[in-house]
């Protein structure tokens, strides 16, 4: 096992720190461990039985080899890589890029280790049009990675059809084919059919792996490897975390403890879960987590079909930025939140704060300090202030941010989600509530077979002038 392990620190959720009314007591933690411990074995068994295939991704050498082969063939001629996808087919790609490449990656050739990366996970025409105007004369040096497990997702399909037409118009059928990499289901779905028919290069979304659990498959690995991210270290981090989150000892298993504490606080009035990284690199991991947590745990029914309407609401905040936006509410508003800070002990780059002019002696305390020291002290200060108001705070501590620790974090939170779903007694892996909105879109766009739904929708979507002010 490599050295740098991320850690979960949980003392600041205990009654010892924030009192019995809001914190967890030793007796409650003990009973939580008794409830959660049997689930460790259960999840390990389910994994062995092939019911959670996302857990095998870090060990699947076939996927990373295929990704690397494709990258070897494409990287030299590629100046821009464009990901077309949404939800689980985009959030992991964005999170990896923000976490592991420099802030100025796209703009500064000296900081770039691969093509510029653009991820379109929305269908705002002004946004995409602006990009297409820019990329128009560089299409032959631009690879479009369309990612969709189903292929029928309207947002991704429409972006793809716009890009395909542009490529056909400008480069012709043979040229168009060269610029597309499709990532989709191995055997079925609309994008699979299109891909097979057109002969695009392709990668697979593994069977049984839902979008939000797919970042460690070709879905996330291809754009990462194209952009110079060390995917072997990423997967090594995840596989080393696999050993920790498989431990049958509750107190040594960070996913089991993390899930159990989240479950406990949800049941004790903290229905909102705020993830607050103190690192720009980690900010989009909080977005990735938001989807993972919300789609996996927000469910109407439990496994016994009882109506439960369960699910903690995940919120993303960023330190120190949101201290000046959210912390007033977090301290003085309702005590209904569990906070999870992400803290980085060693930043790869640091800056020293300059000397203070004689006219501003009150800034003298900053002079000569490192910026990372200020950022981390602000994290401690915010946590202290929240604890003063009896708000429970967890921290995930990164020794440093690199592919190995990011791999650990991703896997830790995926398995934490599995534990949380098991504790809530719900199906963690489906998302039935997303369907109705998708179908309503089909109806509103005039898709055949959705005429009746279109009629049902009309009275609710037509604007009633009496209510327009
Ligand atoms: O996590 C999920 O399953 C979803 O967020 C999907 O990833 C998202 O809806 C996109 O689906 P698809 O990959 O089929 O286009």
Is the shortest distance between the CB of 159 and ligand 1 below 6 Å? no
Is the shortest distance between the CB of 214 and ligand 1 below 6 Å? no
Is the shortest distance between the CB of 87 and ligand 1 below 6 Å? yes
Contact 23, 392 (CB under 8 A): yes
Delineate the domains of the chain, giving CATH numbers in brackets. 6-49+233-424 (3.40.50.10490), 54-229 (3.40.50.10490), 434-461 (no CATH)
Distance 98 CA to ligand 1 centre (A): 21
Distance 233 CA to ligand 1 centre (A): 26
11-16: average pLDDT: 98
59-64: average pLDDT: 97
Is the shortest distance between the CB of 156 and ligand 1 below 6 Å? yes
Closest residue (by CA) to atom 12 of ligand 1? 148
Secondary element (H or E) of residue 229: none
Closest residue (by CA) to atom 8 of ligand 1? 87
Distance 433 CA to ligand 1 centre (A): 13
Tell me the pLDDT tens digit for each residue of 416-458.
999 999 999 999 999 999 989 999 999 999 999 999 999 999 9
Distance 86 CA to ligand 1 centre (A): 6
Q: Compute CA 98 distance to the chain's CA centroid, rounded to the nearest angstrom.
A: 11
- Minimum-distance ligand 1 atom for the alpha carbon of 431: 3
Reply yes or no on whether the pLDDT at 1 is more than 90.
no
Tell me the pLDDT tens digit for each residue of 81-98.
999 999 999 999 999 999
Distance 101 CA to ligand 1 centre (A): 25
| pLDDT the model gives residue 17 | 98
Distance 164 CA to ligand 1 centre (A): 21
Is the shortest distance between the CB of 153 and ligand 1 below 6 Å? yes
Is the shortest distance between the CB of 226 and ligand 1 below 6 Å? no
| pLDDT the model gives residue 61 | 96
Question: Which DSSP string do the residues of 295-360 spell out, in sequence order?
Answer: HHH-EEE-TT--EEEE--EEEE--TTGGGGTTHHHHHHS-S-EEEEEEEEEE-SS--BPPPPPTT-
> How many other CB atoms are found less than 10 A from the CB of residue 449?
9
Tell me the pLDDT tens digit for each residue of 164-204.
999 999 999 999 999 999 999 999 999 999 999 999 999 99
Pocket test for ligand 1, best of 211, 414, 442 (most atoms within 8 A of CB): 211
Residue 64 vs residues 72, 74, 146, 185, 220: alpha-carbon distances, Å: 12, 15, 18, 17, 11
> Measured between alpha carbons, how far is 68 from 218 in angstroms, rounded to an integer?
10
339-346: average pLDDT: 98
| Known active-site residue 438 | yes
Q: H helices of 352-464, where?
A: 371-388, 403-424, 433-444, 451-461
| Known active-site residue 20 | no
Distance 200 CA to ligand 1 centre (A): 21
Closest to 371 measured CA to CA, from 393, 344, 395, 397: 344
Distance 282 CA to ligand 1 centre (A): 22
94-114: average pLDDT: 97
Where residue 3 falls among pLDDT bands split at 50, 70, 90?
A: confident
Contact 218, 203 (CB under 8 A): yes
Closest residue (by CA) to atom 9 of ligand 1? 87
Helix axes 403-424, 283-297, angle to 10 degrees: 20
| Known active-site residue 299 | no
12-29: average pLDDT: 98
Q: Which candidate in 295, 337, 379, 414 is catalytic?
A: 295
Is the shortest distance between the CB of 295 and ligand 1 below 6 Å? yes
Is the shortest distance between the CB of 319 and ligand 1 below 6 Å? no
Pocket test for ligand 1, best of 149, 219, 294 (most atoms within 8 A of CB): 149
Residues of the chain with pLDDT > 70, as a percent, come to 100
Pocket test for ligand 1, best of 85, 88, 209, 439 (most atoms within 8 A of CB): 88
Closest to 405 measured CA to CA, from 236, 229, 220: 236
Distance 89 CA to ligand 1 centre (A): 6
Is the shortest distance between the CB of 192 and ligand 1 below 6 Å? no
Is the shortest distance between the CB of 149 and ligand 1 below 6 Å? yes
> Measured between alpha carbons, how far is 375 from 458 in angstroms, rounded to an integer?
51
- Minimum-distance ligand 1 atom for the alpha carbon of 438: 9
Residues of the chain with pLDDT > 90, as a percent, come to 97
Reply yes or no on whether the pLDDT at 367 is more than 70.
yes
- Minimum-distance ligand 1 atom for the alpha carbon of 86: 10
């Amino acid at each position: 096992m490599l050295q740098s392990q991320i850690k979960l620190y949980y003392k600041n959720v205990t009654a010892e720190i924030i009192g019995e009314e809001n914190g967890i007591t030793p007796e409650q933690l003990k009973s939580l461990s008794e409830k959660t411990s049997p689930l460790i074995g259960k999840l390990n068994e389910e994994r062995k039985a092939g019911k959670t295939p996302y857990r095998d991704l870090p060990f699947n050498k076939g996927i990373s080899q295929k990704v690397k082969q494709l990258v070897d063939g494409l990287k030299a001629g590629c100046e821009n890589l464009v990901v077309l996808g949404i939800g689980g087919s985009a959030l992991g790609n964005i999170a990896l890029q923000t976490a592991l490449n420099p802030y100025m990656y796209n703009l500064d050739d000296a900081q770039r280790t691969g093509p510029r990366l653009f991820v379109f996970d929305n269908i705002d025409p002004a946004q995409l049009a602006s990009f297409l105007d820019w990329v128009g004369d560089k299409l032959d040096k631009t690879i479009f990675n369309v990612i969709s497990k189903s292929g029928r997702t309207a947002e991704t399909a429409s972006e793809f059809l716009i890009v395909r037409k542009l490529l056909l118009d400008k480069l012709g059928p043979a040229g168009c084919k060269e610029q597309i990499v499709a990532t989709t289901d191995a055997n079925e779905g609309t994008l699979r059919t299109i891909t097979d028919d057109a002969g695009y290069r392709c990668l697979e979304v593994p069977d049984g792996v839902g979008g939000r659990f797919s970042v460690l498959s070709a879905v996330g690995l291809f754009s990462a490897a194209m952009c110079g991210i060390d995917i072997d270290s990423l997967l090594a981090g995840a596989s080393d975390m696999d050993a920790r989150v498989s431990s049958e000892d509750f107190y040594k298993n960070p996913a089991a403890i993390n899930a159990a504490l989240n479950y406990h606080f949800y049941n004790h009035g903290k229905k909102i879960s705020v993830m607050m990284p103190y690192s720009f690199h980690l900010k989009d991991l909080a977005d990735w987590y938001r989807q993972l947590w919300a789609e996996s745990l927000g469910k109407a029914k439990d496994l016994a079909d009882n109506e439960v309407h369960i699910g903690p609401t995940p919120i993303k905040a960023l330190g120190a930025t949101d201290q000046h936006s959210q912390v007033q509410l977090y301290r003085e508003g309702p005590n209904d939140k569990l906070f999870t800070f992400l803290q980085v002990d060693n930043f790869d780059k640091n800056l020293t704060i300059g000397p203070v002019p004689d006219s501003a002696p009150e800034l003298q305390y900053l002079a000569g300090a490192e910026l990372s020291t200020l950022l981390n002290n602000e994290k401690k200060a915010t946590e202290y202030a929240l604890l003063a108001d009896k708000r429970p705070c967890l921290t995930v501590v990164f020794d440093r941010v690199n592919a190995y620790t990011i791999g650990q974090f991703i896997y830790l939170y995926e398995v934490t989600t599995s534990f949380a779903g098991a504790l809530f007694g719900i199906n963690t892996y489906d998302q039935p509530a997303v369907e109705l909105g998708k179908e309503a879109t089909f109806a509103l766009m005039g898709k055949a077979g959705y005429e009746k739904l279109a009629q049902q929708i009309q009275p609710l979507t037509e604007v009633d002038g009496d209510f327009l002010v």
